[in-house]
Amino acid sequence: MSRDTGDRETGMIPQGRQPDSRPPQDDAWLARPSTIRLLWWVFAAVLALSVAAEGVFKVKGYFGLDEWLGFGAVYGFLACLAMVLVAKALGWVLKRKADYYAERRDD
Amino acid sequence: MIDFLPPALILPPALIILFGALLIGPARGAWRTAVVLLTPLLTLAAVWQVPDGVVFTVNFLEYPIEPIEGSAVRRLFATIFALMAFAGGLYAYRQARWYELAAAYAYAAGAIGVSFAGDLISLFLFWELMALFSTVVVWCGGTPGARAAGIRYAIMHLLGGVILKVGIEGVMVHTGSIDVQPMLANNFDTWMILIGILINAAAPPLSAWLSDAYPESSPTGSVFLSAFTTKTAVLALILLFPGEPVLVGIGLFMVMYGILYALLENDIRRILAFSIVNQVGFMVCAIGIGTQMAINGASAHAFAHIIYKALLFMSAGAVVYRTGFNKCSEVGGLFRTMPLTAVCGIVGALAISGFPLTSGFTTKTMISQAAADESLVMVYFLLAAASAGVFLHAGIKFPWFVFFQRDSGLRPKDAPWNMAAAMVFFSVLCILFGVAPELLYRYLPYPVDYQAYTASKVVFYLQLLLFSGLAFFLLLPLMRRTETISLDTDWLWRVALFRGAAAVQALLQRAGALLGRGTESALARAARRARGWFGGTPEDDGVPHGVFARAWPIGTTARWIAVLLTAYVFFYYLA
């Protein structure tokens, strides 16, 4: 069985090199500000379409509440907002430095 | 539909792959490649020869052992385990060390063995086989961190095994039956079995082992680890505890736990590990609901989940393998030079989020449907919120931070061809079961009467997911990556236990010192007294001086005898 060591050496980052040590080269189409602006417009259009689609395809809810226009959109957004905020609050209590347990091993 | 072989010709699928695992070491070169790639396919063929019902019985210590019992759900799980071993083998065979592959295949053999175990003793044996060899896979990470995490992982799984064994013994003694059959957690024995299984399902409060150990394994090892342990636990719950009400609450907790911890996490593979807990939560909740729709949903979702979760771990593994970095804060912008890995990662991310046209949509919505059918309002809305949360924590967060966000300046090569092939294979399956769900539905345990693609469902889930996406990008400033970890219940035994032990030790030391001083002075006092009573012989006159050594007047003796006699007479009459 041939091991992929040759490939690996060329693919690996040389030891000691830190990310960001090379100036960013935003040559890629996806990374250009103009593309990002365009993507935001497309995204906004898709969002609007997903709500507008309810005009044609009625959402058949199970509990009444979920038949309101744009319920999925509002619910999805608010659920995410709540989760991010709760996670943030939990973070204040639970977050520790990455070497927290390593430090503990030493003392 | 399927022609089964006569029982005498059926090879136990678990033994085939276990034999393959044994051959990986001695085989060399192309032979080893052949063993790695063909064994899972042979196993798959054997899985599909297992008919419904018990295939054969062996008596052991008066207990009927049924190592192979077939049913639709058992074949479904064994199928995906064998497929997973194949794709994992393909992904890993040129990069992983031989002993990691051998351990992973033995681990898969344990999972397939559990799938077909008709009695609790066989189930337990294969359960422990998994615990043993999954620990070896974690150790193959090769770093001090992997070694330590592997030990913690092994302790947790051996503990879970002991609890499971206590429950099995109890059921054997009290009911006389060792059949794998539905039960409810209504006495000590069945609770022990349930707890033993839930530990493997990474249910609270013992879920930290998963996010602790999986990211410490090698880039190839984590692909195998993501598939077997938690999903065999899901199968065991389907077989033993369908409709157990406590599972609904446990499942919902797991769903939310996975999301919140994944949102806080910086390690790429640890994000995915937390999202395993989240996804298994969906299945556990469905098993708790327990209707035919719910059990179908749990089985289908487990099948689809193994594929897209392994795909996500493959994509993350390729990044770790090529860059040597594990953290979101270290990578970024990799889509430039790893386009295939990025695309496959995005397919997996869309599937886990349950986007229409992916396998996540056609399976996860069955669970929501089951909740709606039973009018479980809270469960339905919490699962919907969780579906939005999955997109947030895994669906966008993983590809965004790894392949996009800022340019890290890293320009690694794309995944090696075998890794790429495995990723493409699983990407195709994610889309195939999303586009043609009936391919999967026909193998589910109960007849399926479910339409995933109604306009109503598609519009609802598109809104839910797309606006979660909007929330992600608007809230990005709140989700900046930090070089941190988040404490979990394992803090109790990794830190608090040691602090407690140190405190007790200090207390005992002080008590010991105090006791030592007390004993010393008490002994000295006693010695002084003893000298006073028994008295030595001073050198000067040779006459004893202790109290007992003196001459006593006869009157004193007579008085004492009178007292003793009176006491004797008194007590004699009292009695």
DSSP 3-state assignment of B54?
Answer: strand
The CA-based diameter of chain A, rounded to the nearest angstrom, is: 66
Contacts of B486 in chain A (CB under 8 A): 90-91, 94-96
Contact of A59 with B459, CB cutoff 8 Å: yes
Report pLDDT digits (tens) over B71-105: 999 999 999 999 999 999 999 999 999 999 999 99
Averaged pLDDT for residues B55-67: 86
Is residue B8 scored above 80 in pLDDT? Answer: no
Could you tell me which of B282, B234, B290 has the C-alpha nearest to residue B255?
B282
**Contact state of B392 with A75 under an 8 Å Cβ cutoff:** no
Is residue B19 scored above 80 in pLDDT? Answer: yes
**Which pair of structure tokens corresponds to residue A11?**
């693919």
CA of A42 vs chain B CAs: smallest distance (Å) = 12
Contacts of B389 in chain A (CB under 8 A): 79-80, 83
Of the listed ranges B34-48, B172-186, B190-204, the least confidently predicted one is: B172-186
Averaged pLDDT for residues B234-263: 95
Contact of B141 with B217, CB cutoff 8 Å: yes
Element (H, E) at B70: strand B63-70
Question: Is the domain of A45 the same as that of A68?
Answer: no
Contacts of A28 in chain B (CB under 8 A): 333, 335-336
Is residue B170 scored above 90 in pLDDT? Answer: yes
Q: Which of A57, A73, A99 is the last residue of a domain?
A: A57
Question: Is the domain of A68 the same as that of A96?
Answer: yes
Q: Tell me the torsion sign for CA atoms B319, A97, A91, B490.
A: positive
Q: Give the A window 31-70 contacts with B, CB below 8 Å.
A: 31, 43, 46-47, 50-51, 53-54, 56-60, 62-63, 66, 70
Report pLDDT digits (tens) over B316-330: 999 999 998 888 888
Contact of B289 with B376, CB cutoff 8 Å: yes
Contacts of A77 in chain B (CB under 8 A): 467-468, 470-471
Q: What HEC string does B420-469 produce?
A: HHHHHHHHHHHHHHHHCCHHHHCCCCCCCCCCCCCHHHHHHHHHHHHHHH
Averaged pLDDT for residues B459-469: 92
Contact of B434 with B102, CB cutoff 8 Å: no
Report pLDDT digits (tens) over A12-40: 444 555 555 555 555 677 777 888 889 89
**What does the pLDDT read at residue B33?**
94
**What does the pLDDT read at residue A70?**
84
**Which pair of structure tokens corresponds to residue B504?**
């007790």
Burial class (CB in 10 A: 0-12, 13-18, 19+), B573: exposed
Question: Is the domain of A42 the same as that of A78?
Answer: no
Is residue B1 scored above 60 in pLDDT? Answer: no
**Contact state of B459 with A96 under an 8 Å Cβ cutoff:** no
Q: Chain B: residue nearest A26 by CA?
A: B407
Judge whether A87 lies within some domain. Answer: yes
Question: Is the domain of A53 the same as that of A64?
Answer: no
Q: Give the B window 138-177 contacts with A, CB below 8 Å.
A: none
Judge whether A9 lies within some domain. Answer: no
Task: Give CA–CA dist B422/A10, Å, rounded.
Answer: 22
Is residue B398 scored above 80 in pLDDT? Answer: yes
- Residue from the list A11, A71, A100 with its beta carbon closest to the beta carbon of B412: A11
**Where in chain B are the domains?**
1-241, 243-485
**Which pair of structure tokens corresponds to residue B365?**
């919505």
Question: Is the domain of A74 the same as that of A85?
Answer: yes
Contacts of B464 in chain A (CB under 8 A): 72-73, 75-76
Contacts of A9 in chain B (CB under 8 A): none
List Cβ neighbours of B372 (8 Å cut-off, separation of 6 or more): A62, A63, B380
Find which of A77, A104, A106 to mutate to test the B interface (most B CBs within 10 Å of its CB). A77
**What does the pLDDT read at residue B538?**
56
Helix runs in B292-338, H state only: 292-323
Q: Give the B window 491-510 contacts with A, CB below 8 Å.
A: 494-495, 498
Contacts of A83 in chain B (CB under 8 A): 259-260, 263, 385, 389, 392-393
Averaged pLDDT for residues B372-378: 90
**Which pair of structure tokens corresponds to residue B450?**
């479910």
Q: Chain A: residue nearest B35 by CA?
A: A1
**What does the pLDDT read at residue B110?**
96
Q: Model's pTM, two decimal places?
A: 0.86
Contacts of A70 in chain B (CB under 8 A): 463
| Total residue count of chain A as it appears in this document | 107
CA of B442 vs chain A CAs: smallest distance (Å) = 26
Q: Which of A57, A77, A97 is the last residue of a domain?
A: A57
**Contact state of B459 with A57 under an 8 Å Cβ cutoff:** yes
Question: Is the domain of A67 the same as that of A106?
Answer: yes
Q: Which of A57, A75, A95 is the last residue of a domain?
A: A57
Q: Give the B window 332-351 contacts with A, CB below 8 Å.
A: 332-333, 335-336
- Enclosing domain of residue A46: 27-57
Judge whether A4 lies within some domain. Answer: no
DSSP 3-state assignment of B96?
Answer: coil
B332: pLDDT confidence band, cut at 50, 70 and 90?
A: confident
* ipTM of the complex as predicted: 0.81
Q: What HEC string does B483-540 produce?
A: CEEECCCCHHHHHHHHHHHHHHHHHHHHHHHHHHHHHHHHHHHHHHHHHHHHCCCCCC
Averaged pLDDT for residues A80-85: 93
Question: Is the domain of A86 the same as that of A102?
Answer: yes
Q: Tell me the torsion sign for CA atoms A71, A77, A80, A81.
A: negative
A107: pLDDT confidence band, cut at 50, 70 and 90?
A: very low
Question: Is the domain of A43 the same as that of A69?
Answer: no
Contacts of A24 in chain B (CB under 8 A): 333, 406-407, 409
Is residue B2 scored above 60 in pLDDT? Answer: no
Mean pLDDT, all residues of chain B: 91
Q: Chain B: residue nearest A64 by CA?
A: B377
Tell me how many residue pairs between chain A and chain B have CB atoms under 8 A apart: 194
CA of A107 vs chain B CAs: smallest distance (Å) = 11
CA of B466 vs chain A CAs: smallest distance (Å) = 6
Residue B205: asked if its preceding bond is cis (omega within 30°), the reply is: yes
Contacts of B393 in chain A (CB under 8 A): 83
Side-chain half-sphere exposure of B180, counting CA atoms within 13 A: 27
Averaged pLDDT for residues B31-60: 92
Per-residue DSSP letter, B406: S
Question: Is the domain of A64 the same as that of A52?
Answer: no
Of the listed ranges A63-72, B26-35, B124-133, the least confidently predicted one is: A63-72
Contacts of A46 in chain B (CB under 8 A): 466
**What does the pLDDT read at residue A11?**
45
**Contact state of A94 with B264 under an 8 Å Cβ cutoff:** yes
Q: Chain B: residue nearest A95 by CA?
A: B486
**What does the pLDDT read at residue A68?**
83
B463 close contact with A: CB closer than 8 A: yes
| Total residue count of chain B as it appears in this document | 575
Question: Is the domain of A53 the same as that of A80?
Answer: no
Contacts of B493 in chain A (CB under 8 A): none
**Contact state of A1 with B29 under an 8 Å Cβ cutoff:** yes
Contacts of B485 in chain A (CB under 8 A): 95-98, 100-101
**What does the pLDDT read at residue B525?**
92
- Residue from the list A20, A90, A100 with its beta carbon closest to the beta carbon of B485: A100
**Contact state of A59 with B456 under an 8 Å Cβ cutoff:** yes
Is residue B447 scored above 80 in pLDDT? Answer: yes
A11 close contact with B: CB closer than 8 A: yes
Q: Phi and psi for A97 in degrees, rounded to 5?
A: -60, 150
